[in-house]
Amino acid sequence: MVRIYNDCISCILKGALDAARLSTDDESVHRRILNTTMERLISADYHEPPPVIAGNTQRLIRDATGNPDPYKMLKQRYNDFALEIYPELETMVRESSSPFEKAVNIAIAGNIIDFGAFPDIGGKEIVHTIEQAASSGINGNLSWFESAVERADRILWLADNTGEIVLDKLLLGRMDRSKVVYAVRGAPILNDATLEDAVYTGMTDVVEVIENGAELPGTLIEKCSERFREEYERADLIVSKGQGNYETLSHDDRRIVFLFKVKCHVVARESGKLEGESAILQHGGIPARTVPVR
């Protein structure tokens, strides 16, 4: 689990403003949301992970504007975009000399579709990131991960963002999908994937999909549904996609493998990876103390 650092505050405030602008054009409402967010940050528990504060902020915006899903149109747009490029990527994986590695590369590259970290991300930038990832290596133990997938009897996959979930299908296609349960968020939050997105993108035709029961851009086990907690306890391998899940899950659970793009220097420091890297991470990583975080 990653606690809140001072460097996280500006990201939380920017996320609040971005979501407020998606919900309404009224600048007085934007200002009120920012003021309330700053008031809450003053009394926040800085031992909590950043997605907890981000989730509270998104609920504040929903209540202030009456918009239950500010990112709905953007989520639709990037689901459609990912579905459009999927056939070409599927061919790339199938024709690769190392299909599993190529699928992992692309699935992690899809984590760039994150409106919390990159609200202005565009289609060309996503394609460029995927192309770069498809032809480069991964910082992490790929052979361990592939072996763990083969050995596991029950795999719980923790999904992250819309659009990205379409690219997850490339990697799921290299697994025995009968032993995979795919978990999405329990309610709309940022651009994270929900059951509605899983149905729309055809994920429910590929693998068993469940909701985690929580309205949070991460995974706090105590906030999740009983059904999800049962699957979590039952799994002998947990595939965790994205930074939000990395920030909220235990780094001591040896069943978890984290797959994500390192999007900020706070997580770079905590994980021992470099900002911008595609990472496979076991047991949370080793902090890189050379990166100053306050």
Reported as a single tens digit per residue, the pLDDT across 182-222 is 999 999 999 999 999 999 999 999 999 999 999 999 999 99
The rounded distance, in Å, linking the Cα atoms of 67 and 31 is: 17
The pLDDT, as a whole number, for residue 183 is: 98
What are the pLDDT digits (tens) for 221-280? 999 999 999 999 999 999 999 999 999 999 999 999 999 988 889 999 999 998 888 889
The structure tokens listed for 247 are 């920030």
Tell me which DSSP letter residue 39 carries.
H
Beta strands in the chain (DSSP E): 155-158, 180-184, 208-211, 237-241, 256-261, 278-282
Per the CB < 8 A criterion, the answer to whether 159 and 182 are in contact is yes
Q: Which CATH number fits domain 72-282: 3.30.2320.20, 3.40.50.10880, 3.40.50.300, 2.60.40.10?
A: 3.40.50.10880
For residues 137-164, one letter each, b for 16 or more C-beta atoms within 10 angstroms of the residue's C-beta and e for the rest, the string is ebbbebeebbebbeebeebbbbbbbbbb
The rounded distance, in Å, linking the Cα atoms of 98 and 179 is: 22
Beta strands in 60-163 (DSSP E): 155-158
Tell me which DSSP letter residue 161 carries.
B
The pLDDT, as a whole number, for residue 279 is: 86
